[in-house]
Chains A and B, each alone.
Chain A
Amino acid sequence: MAKIGVFVCHCGENIASMVDTGKLVTAISGHPGVAFSSEYKYFCSDPGQETVKRAIRENNLTGVVVAACSPRMHEQTFRKACAEAGLNPYMLELANIREQCSWVHTDRIEATDKAIEITRALVEKVKRNNDLQPISVPVTRRAMVIGGGVAGIQAAIDIATAGREVVLVEREPSIGGHMSQISETFPTLDCSQCILTPRMVEAVQHPNIRVMTYAEVEEVDGFIGNFTVKVRSKARYVKMETCTGCGDCIQKCPVKKIPSEFECELGNRTAIYTPFAQAVPNVPVIDRSRCTYFKNGKCAICKKTCQIDSIDFEQEDKTEYIEVGAIVVATGFQVQNTSMYGEYGYGRYKDVITGLHFERLASASGPTAGKIKRPSDGKEPETVVFIQCAGSRDASKGVKYCSKICCMYTAKHAMLYAHKVHHGKSQIFYMDIRAAGKGYDEFTRRAIEEDEAGYIRGRVSKLYEENGKLIVRGVDTLLGKPVEVEADMVVLATAMVPQPDAKEFAQRIGIGYDEYGFFNEAHLKLRPVETSTAGIYLAGACQSPKDIPDSVSQASAAAAKVLGLFSKEQLEREPVVATVSDSTCAGCWGCVIACPYNAIDRKEITDRNGNLIKRVASVNPGLCQGCGTCVSFCRSNSIDLAGFTESQIFAEVMGL
């Protein structure tokens, strides 16, 4: 005989204000099988849980229904309480009378009736529940970090230093990401390369880190603790094992006029190249689309030059499958292409550049060796106009959000400009100055007070060229007057947007993303570095615009999550898995195709003599995630899901 206990929670006022809990208790206490019922202000509290435990023990309850909030909130809490009282944790059901009832209704009588129905349905279900035992699966204690920017590097080093293996996958020829392009960094103005390069070297030299550059993740299979990742290493045409990075080949390559991506096309590179001098690994790649040898079979000068024969034109892309237990996604961002702003003339006037261009101009290792020279004629600009929010906070043309870093880097640019061009004059058009962060407001104040950055509050309406000058027109909204500035160069603080392939990438590896393509965290406040796919974590600007301190903190947080997962050899999994009925399965393999976790195999049923009788589907309980896709697909109704069996669901529905 079922002896079900029903515990009706008030959730403070959350439920009790809309549901007559007393009436609910009375109604349910008369329901067949209900042996105990009570109500309380907060069942999730310590005394509340004690009440549940005591009732289980004293009444020998065989099942429990807590009529309260969503199972997402407290299913684990009450399962634990049941287990502590000696009841199998899967003999518990939560009747959601908060999110699905009290919160969404305005009529107390109707809401109460609905709460009674919901609770009754769950009582009917729990009567048919069975004891289930958790499943243990082994954890592969190796992590993959995708993206080798500062966030990815930090996460990799943290995990590796704690003693776990890491595979760091970067699609460019070198790790480093955007930080390697930046000249000096706010709010301290230390040189970006100087603080990043040692980290890059630490990563490649770390015995626990395997760095794969020029490589892309093509597929992710499996689940938390047991992912299989397909990685394609693109052909470099240079042998990683032997190349010493002497750079002789680069010197000799005759194709020299290729606009360098790293230099934002302000400088050139050769067909065989490393993106920058401090590249890690310091092994060049051949850009097949530009190389003369690949075009017409002639040249091969690099091959002749290399003294240790490290050039290999025959190399091919290599694919491997790597087993990992956790994945940290740190694929970063890109700066928005601002050419949609006709009024700013980006792409039309050579001397209208983005903040990233400015970083390269200001960088000691950049194309101008750190001298501020404008792109059109190489002259030192006397007046520079900076336009903030060139794309951010602009719902009509750009993006709605604030890119968070532009106020700071524009202040930094104005400072660097003042330090490098002493008589130069900077004018900054801004909407607000957002400088929240340790040392940030002080930093912008310094730009204004010490380095005489001229801030004009207002937007630029028009920009055009006249007599070799860029005329910038706008309104000073504080003075309520139009302004016009004659500038030699204009720097746009363009928005930080997701990588061009972010959405497609997210779909490929199975994580969520927002309307722009920034990857979604599981909970903005409480689980900011996890994704809703268990075992996949986020770090850096791929989640939202971030500066270096934020990216690095998040990377360490993600590493901590990974290490937490790796702290045990086995992972306890919910026993909610599917099973196939051999006798009725028609072997159509629809479920095999439908299962998003590839958890279903084909099984042969043979007679005693080994003769094949039929083939049927068979679920691997180690892989099954209990999503139920197969159950809904199977036409012959041959699959059942533990914890959500057909008869349980049926009883629940009929209980309504």
Chain B
Amino acid sequence: MGIQEQYRTDAANLLDSGAVKLVIGYGEGSTPERRRPIFIRSAEEVGRLVLDANCIANLSAYLVPEGLLSDGKSVAVFLKPDGIRSVNILAAEAQLNPEQVVILGFNIDAGLANPLPGRKANEFAPLLASLKSAGLSTDLQREADRLEQMTAVERFEYWKEQFSKCIKCYACRQVCPMCYCRRCIVDVNQPQWVNTSSHTLGNFEWNIIRAYHLAGRCVACGGCDRACPVNIPLRLLNHRMSKEALDTFDHFAGESADQKPVLATFRQDDPETFIL
């Protein structure tokens, strides 16, 4: 039995037994290689579930809408390791109870979707630990290295050019599982910290604030990057922040559900090179 069949069966069993009230998975999309999130509430519907190498979106973002989990019932969700990490962060930030999240885990390797053993986020701890020790990389590694080589001025120019494209559609925010605030700081207009018009200053303010808000939280699912209609390489920005958090503070976002926010905690042996 292929993984798709197996997970359809698993989903049907979970729904039939009443273990979960909802399965969040992937279905056919608008083109043959696109997948879109689908929400299945009865075993009869599991045939709509698709699982293959095109299932790349991080579905954990659909767990946080207000009220979904407040009845205490469980929800099953298809997640890659990045999604499992974001469930851990959401749990660490009290946005959900990980006991209510049943994970249908998989990863994509060599063009194939493969099952990952485990059902609850904490069962994936060894997997996440091995990801942490493997270190961070991005599929834009060459570009990342090139940025690293630049002088501060050159890098600033690079991002100025990139950010000048931003149209403030906030698609990057909407897609990100970590952007769950009921009111985002960009929507504050008393005072108007972030300029809403799309000129360079306002765009800088927005993109830099977002990068900071994701420091030590981004799981590199790439959602924002794919969502961006003007192709700003947002993952490079997030990658750089993640690298800083890992190298400097040994913080790998979403390592566990009791992880403390890297920007709110300190350890006595934290490097203090920035304190003059």
Contact = CB atoms under 8 A, between A and B. Distances in A.
Interface of A: 504, 507, 583-584, 586-591, 593-594, 615, 633, 635-638, 646-647, 650-651
B93 A588 contact: yes
Interface residues of B, number: 20
A646 B192 CA distance: 10
Given A593-B260, A635-B213, A637-B193, A586 B268 contact: no
A160 B213 CA distance: 51
B186 to A, nearest CB: 10
B191 interface: yes
Interface of B: 93-95, 180-185, 188, 190-191, 193, 213, 260-261, 263-265, 268
B190 A615 contact: no
Contacts of A590: 93, 261, 263-264
9 contacts: A583-B182, A586-B182, A593-B265, A594-B261, A594-B263, A633-B264, A636-B182, A636-B184, A636-B185
A650 B191 contact: yes
Given A584-B183, A593-B261, A637-B183, 4 more contacts: A588-B261, A590-B264, A635-B185, A646-B188
Contacts of B263: 590, 594, 633
A647 B190 contact: yes
Contacts of A637: 183, 185, 188, 193
Contacts of B193: 637, 646, 650
A636 B265 contact: no
A593 B95 CA distance: 15
A586 B191 CA distance: 20
B61 to A, nearest CB: 14
A539 to B, nearest CB: 25
Nearest to A595: B264
Contacts of A504: 268
Nearest to B178: A635
Contacts of A636: 181-185
B80 to A, nearest CB: 24
Nearest to A589: B94
A504 B268 CA distance: 9
Contacts of B184: 636
Nearest to A594: B264
B183 A589 contact: no
A594 B260 CA distance: 10
A507 B268 contact: yes
B265 to A, nearest CB: 6
B180 A586 contact: yes
B264 A587 contact: no
A589 B193 CA distance: 23
B181 A586 contact: yes
Contact of B94 (A588, A638, A646): A588
Nearest to B185: A637
B63 to A, nearest CB: 14
5 closest A-B pairs by CB:
A594-B264, A650-B191, A636-B181, A588-B93, A584-B183
A125 to B, nearest CB: 12
A239 B185 CA distance: 61
A234 to B, nearest CB: 23
B191 A591 contact: no
A583 B187 CA distance: 14
Nearest to B183: A584
Contact of A593 (B183, B188, B190, B264): B264
B94 A587 contact: yes
A650 B189 CA distance: 11
A237 to B, nearest CB: 32
A618 to B, nearest CB: 14
Given A589-B93, A635-B213, A646 B185 contact: no
Nearest to A630: B264
B194 to A, nearest CB: 10
Nearest to B212: A635
A319 to B, nearest CB: 21
A271 B265 CA distance: 43
Contacts of B261: 588, 590, 593-594, 633
Contacts of A591: 264
A652 to B, nearest CB: 11
Contacts of B181: 584, 586, 635-636
Contacts of A584: 181-183
Which of B93, B181, B213 is packed against the most chain A CB atoms within 10 Å?
B181
Given A584-B183, A635-B181, A646 B265 contact: no
Contacts of B188: 637, 646
A583 B188 CA distance: 13
B210 to A, nearest CB: 10
Nearest to A636: B181
Contacts of B265: 593-594
A635 B182 CA distance: 11
A49 to B, nearest CB: 34
A645 B24 CA distance: 42
A28 B122 CA distance: 62
Contacts of A615: 94
A216 B254 CA distance: 36
Interface centre among A583, A635, A636, A651 (most CB of B within 10 A): A635
A41 B260 CA distance: 53
A502 to B, nearest CB: 14
A584 B185 CA distance: 10
Nearest to A503: B268
A483 to B, nearest CB: 47
A229 B93 CA distance: 29
Contacts of A638: 183
A641 B216 CA distance: 26
A397 to B, nearest CB: 26
